[in-house]
């Protein structure tokens, strides 16, 4: 996270003291860097200047309107998986013809709304979905543009919960069935086949799974061409990993360069990708306050005001995320191996295990790399209001992009019998 550094003994984000952000907005608090988001997005597109392309941000990673609006202004497309995400990106200024609709359970209502909006295409994930889209389009007097999400059965070498490209995963259409389903698709009256899509998982730290999947997809493209089924685009999905600890994932520019090389025999085909985590993960951090320290036998706990309701990745994926103290550590400080735990009444409410820290009650801690799957997966479990979100818009400027929820917000919409 290149915008975090210590200065005069305290942690700063750009030129802004973490302690000042906590004092002004309270904790827990999500903070994002607009400059980092911009830099990461442009890294995908800058190497593709000679290729028609579209970088579709995966909205599920972080769906704040300000982030979506920032990306829309940069020319981004969007990869959505629900009606809510569709309405969000439209509200944020997205061009409908830059939206691709993924997801395994698209409802009739979602398909109708997407067709009315005029999205770029549906990424179809089953034969049943293909026929539903055709039926809905026929009833509306429209032609639905589709691509098939093909499951290439490539091992992404990532956590099983975020692996999506194996035959046992719920996503996509089996590689073995793909040709047959394409034949069915071109025979339907209200379907226009425009592309092919794959996505094999998330937090990939090697090039080889991407390139293996690309080879399998391109072999299928050649078979389709031989049957006079010509595609307008190939969507290679997302999933590029980031550095949380000591991972060394390839850069976005290297990934795009290598995928573009694979497409050299197809100069007229548009290249699509769907990055999410790699754009926003290291743009975000979570500031929290130590409510208590607790020492019993050889167990040491830093009990903070942020929990698994605010950031579920460590509990859900056993994710490792760096934790930094707001006060710069000194060699003379007394420190312990702390488990950093939250207020939620679950034993799994641990944001970090065994971190060497020197902290006291009321000190601040920063959980790094929290921009992806942080707030977007937050909940009100234990009737906890969700945090505020703040954007760093310049070296010394920041603004609220989501207000902290109030206690009254917790029961908004509820009624007595």
Instruction: Give me the pLDDT at residue 181, please.
Output: 96
When pLDDT is averaged across residues 46-73 and rounded to a whole number, the result is 96
> What is the pLDDT at residue 163?
46
How far, CA to CA in Å, does 391 sit from each of 21, 51, 128, 340, 384? Answer: 11, 32, 42, 25, 22
Question: At 170, phi and psi to the nearest 5?
Answer: -75, -10
| Integer-rounded Cα radius of gyration of the chain | 23
Catalytic residue among 198, 288, 345, 368: 345
**Mean pLDDT of all residues in the chain?**
94
For the cut 60, the answer to whether the pLDDT of residue 11 exceeds it is yes
Residues 340, 389: Cα–Cα separation, whole Å: 22
161 pLDDT more than 50: no
Beta-bridge partners for 388: 29
pLDDT at 395: 81
State mean pLDDT over 359-379.
Answer: 97
- pLDDT class of 43 with cuts at 50, 70, 90: very high
- State how far the Cα of 398 lies from the Cα of 31, in Å rounded to an integer: 9
pLDDT tens, position by position, 103-143: 999 999 999 999 999 999 999 999 999 999 999 999 999 99
Task: List the one residue out of 219, 232, 155 whose CA is nearest residue 192.
Answer: 232
Per-residue buried b or exposed e for 315-324, using 16+ beta carbons within 10 Å of the residue's own CB: bebebebbbb
> Residue ranges of the alpha helices (H) in 165-299?
178-187, 208-226, 252-262, 277-280
DSSP secondary structure of 160-180: GGGB--STTSSSSEEGGGHHH
Of all residues in the chain, the percent with pLDDT exceeding 90 is 90
pLDDT confidence of residue 165: 42
Residue 155 has a pLDDT of: 67
**352, 339 Cβ separation under 8 angstroms:** yes
What strand order describes the sheet that includes 16-17?
4-7, 10-13, 16-17
Query: What are the tens digits of pLDDT across the range 255-271?
Result: 999 999 999 999 999 99
Domains (range + CATH), the chain: 4-32+281-411 (2.40.37.10), 103-273 (3.20.20.10)
Can 345 be counted among the known catalytic residues?
Answer: yes
pTM of the model: 0.94
**pLDDT value at position 168?**
56
Which three-class secondary structure state does DSSP give residue 271? strand
DSSP 8-state code for residue 233: E
pLDDT exceeds 50 at position 325: yes
Burial (CB < 10 A; 0-12, 13-18, 19+), residue 54, is: buried
Gap between the terminal Cα atoms of the chain: 50
Q: Percent of the chain beyond pLDDT 70?
A: 96
């Amino acid at each position: 996270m290149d915008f975090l550094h210590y200065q005069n003994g305290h942690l700063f984000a750009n030129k802004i003291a973490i302690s000042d952000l906590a004092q002004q907005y309270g904790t827990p608090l999500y903070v994002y860097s607009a400059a980092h988001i911009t830099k990461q997005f442009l890294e995908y597109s800058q190497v593709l200047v000679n290729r028609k392309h579209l970088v579709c941000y995966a909205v599920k990673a972080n769906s704040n309107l300000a982030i979506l609006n920032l990306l829309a202004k940069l020319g981004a497309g969007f990869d959505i998986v629900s009606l809510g995400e569709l309405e969000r990106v439209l509200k944020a200024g997205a061009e409908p013809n830059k939206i691709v609709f993924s997801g395994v359970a698209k409802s009739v209502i979602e398909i109708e709304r997407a067709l009315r909006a005029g999205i770029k295409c549906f990424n179809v994930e089953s034969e049943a979905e293909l026929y539903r889209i055709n039926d809905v389009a026929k009833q509306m007097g429209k032609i639905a543009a589709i691509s098939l999400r093909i499951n290439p059965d490539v091992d992404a070498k990532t956590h099983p919960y975020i692996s999506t490209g194996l035959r046992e995963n719920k996503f996509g259409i089996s590689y073995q069935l793909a040709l047959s389903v394409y034949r069915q698709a071109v025979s339907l009256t209200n379907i226009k086949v425009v592309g092919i899509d794959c996505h094999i998982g998330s937090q990939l730290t090697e090039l080889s799974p991407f390139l293996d999947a690309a080879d399998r997809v391109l072999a299928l493209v050649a078979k389709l061409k031989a049957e006079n089924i010509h595609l307008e685009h190939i969507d290679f999905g997302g999933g590029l990993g980031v550095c949380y600890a000591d991972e060394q994932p390839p850069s976005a520019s290297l990934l795009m360069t290598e995928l573009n090389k694979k497409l050299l025999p197809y100069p007229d085909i548009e290249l699509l990708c769907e990055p999410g985590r790699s754009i926003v993960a290291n743009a975000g951090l979570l500031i929290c306050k130590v409510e208590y320290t607790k020492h019993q036998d050889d167990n040491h706990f830093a009990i903070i005001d942020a929990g698994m309701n605010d950031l579920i990745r460590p509990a859900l994926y056993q994710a490792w995320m760096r934790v930094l103290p707001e006060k710069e550590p000194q060699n003379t400080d007394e420190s312990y191996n702390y488990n950093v735990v939250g207020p939620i009444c679950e034993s799994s409410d641990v944001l970090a295990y065994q971190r060497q820290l020197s902290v006291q009650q009321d000190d601040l801690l920063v959980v790094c790399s929290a921009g992806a799957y942080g707030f977007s997966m937050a909940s009100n479990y234990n009737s906890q209001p969700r945090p505020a979100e703040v954007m760093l818009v310049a070296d010394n400027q920041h603004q609220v992009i989501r207000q902290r929820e109030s206690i009254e917000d917790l029961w908004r919409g509820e009624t007595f019998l």
